Amino acid sequence: MSVADAAGLAGRVLTEVEKAVVGKHDKLALVLAAVLAKGHVLLEDFPGLGKTLAARSFAQALGLDFARAQFTPDLLPADLTGSFIYDQREGRFDFRKGPLFTGLLLADEINRTPPKTQAALLEAMQERQITIEGETFLLPEPFHVIATANPVEYEGTYPLPEAQLDRFLLRVSFGYPGPEQEYDVVARRLVRRREEIDLDQVTDATGVLAMQAAVEEIEVDASIGRYCVDLVTATRQHPDALTGASPRGSLGLVLAARGFALLRGRDYVIPEDIKAVARPVLSHRITVRPELWMTQASGERIVDAVLSDVPAPPTLGGRRS
């Protein structure tokens, strides 16, 4: 699949999802860019802003198997991965797959489950395989996790540690809609006369893999790669940061920017792509100094600061062709 074809297909997916999630084009584009870049997404937002709806809509439009795991305090790793069950008739143990064996997993309220279960999920996200009792099971291709977290509830929650947050390519917040958009949500529901929203399947797992392969063809100029590294290095040197983004942050910037470029129909990345994805890619990878927790300092502000400080790639590339 060419980049232009992949861009057209991705555009149709986005249009379909926007039938369900109103007025969030830019945020949805970021989520799709992450999926195209083979990444996982953390949707962190207040309740009722369409996180679950967005995940389900993407699964429908992308034609991926969809599973939802509600992360509760009593959820065990085996509830996600699956486990061996004894088959009395056959006299042997059979593996019964858990919800991880799907195309798109919605990990709802991921911060409500203890670290042991979080770790099991995050390991699967990283390795794209799970090992149970010495036997390794490969997860299906493509496999993506869209996790949600509620930032306002603290009691009975287990915030993800920085090392595990790093596994998410992007952290996106939808935010509240404007009055017009909110009315649009109400009006559409009234016109629909029922709660469910039917979305057309735009592509399937094979199509998603083809789009992901097209993303791999997108060129990244050396000056852009160095710009990403400079941005990430600057987060480590910022006075408000206890720990900045890791090298996985540089890689995440480049990968997410390639997905973003594909959505724009380009087979090359421009510095503006990097700026567009820098906040969602880097802010959750930065730990603010503890003495600044009562101030306005945040990962987002540190990213904004480094974007306003690090020199952009030069105008002339110095190539002759």
Partner 1 sequence: MRGQTTGGTRAGVVAVLAVAGLMLVAVLAVWAASIGRDAVLSGDGPERMQIDTPTPTPTPSTSEGPGPPPINKLPSEPPAFFRVLALLVVAVFWLLLAVLVFFFLRGLWRQARLIRREAEAAPVEIDMLEPDQPARVSDQMERDASTQRALLEEGSPRTAIEACWHRFEVQAGEAGLARKSWETSSEFTYRMLDVVGADPHAAFTLGELYREARFSEHPLGEEARASARAALAAIQLGPRLRRASEEQS
Q: Does 311 bind partner 1 (CB under 8 A)?
A: yes
Amino acid at 8: G
For β-strands 41-44 and 170-172, DSSP reports them as parallel
- CB-CB neighbours of 11 under 10 Å: 17
Positions 180 through 219 that interact with partner 1 (CB under 8 A): 219
The residue from 93, 176, 183, 268 that contacts partner 1 (CB under 8 A) is: 268
Q: Which is nearer to partner 1, 119 or 270 (CB)?
A: 270
Compute the half-sphere exposure of residue 143: CA atoms within 13 Å on the CB side of its CA: 19
Least separation in angstroms between residue 291's CB and partner 1 is 6
For β-strands 170-172 and 144-149, DSSP reports them as unpaired
Least separation in angstroms between residue 296's CB and partner 1 is 6
Q: Which is nearer to partner 1, 97 or 275 (CB)?
A: 275
CA dihedral 198, 102, 279, 219 (to 10 degrees): -100
Q: Which is nearer to partner 1, 88 or 296 (CB)?
A: 296
* 103 DSSP assignment: S
The residue from 125, 165, 241, 269 that contacts partner 1 (CB under 8 A) is: 269
Contact 86, 125 (CB under 8 A): no
Least separation in angstroms between residue 214's CB and partner 1 is 14
Per-residue contact track with partner 1, 231 to 260, x per CB under 8 A? -----------x------------------
Least separation in angstroms between residue 313's CB and partner 1 is 7
DSSP character string of 193-239: TSS---------HHHHHHHHHHHHT-B--HHHHHHHHHHHHHHHH-T
Q: Using CB under 8 A, which of the segments 19-27, 141-149, 251-259, 312-320 binds partner 1?
A: 312-320
Contact 156, 113 (CB under 8 A): no
Q: Does 267 bind partner 1 (CB under 8 A)?
A: yes
Positions 280 through 309 that interact with partner 1 (CB under 8 A): 291-292, 294-297, 307-309
- Return the HEC string of 235-266: HHHCCCEEECCCHHHHHHHHHHHHHHHHHCCC
For residue 26, the Cα-to-chain-centroid distance in whole angstroms is 14
Least separation in angstroms between residue 295's CB and partner 1 is 6
Least separation in angstroms between residue 269's CB and partner 1 is 7
Instruction: Let me know the angle formed at the C-alpha of 186 by 183 and 190, rounded to the nearest 5 degrees.
Output: 135
Q: Which is nearer to partner 1, 157 or 233 (CB)?
A: 233
The residue from 23, 65, 271, 298 that contacts partner 1 (CB under 8 A) is: 271
Q: Which is nearer to partner 1, 147 or 256 (CB)?
A: 256
Q: Which is nearer to partner 1, 191 or 294 (CB)?
A: 294
The residue from 157, 266, 287, 300 that contacts partner 1 (CB under 8 A) is: 266
Q: Does 225 bind partner 1 (CB under 8 A)?
A: no
- How many residues make contact with partner 1 (CB under 8 A)? 32
CA–CA distance, 257 with 253 (Å, rounded to integer) = 6
Q: Does 320 bind partner 1 (CB under 8 A)?
A: yes
Q: Strand pairing partners for 70?
A: 108
| Closest C-alpha among 251, 257, 258, 254 to residue 216 | 258
Q: Does 317 bind partner 1 (CB under 8 A)?
A: yes
Residues that bind partner 1 (CB under 8 A): 219, 221, 224, 242, 266-272, 275, 291-292, 294-297, 307-317, 319-321
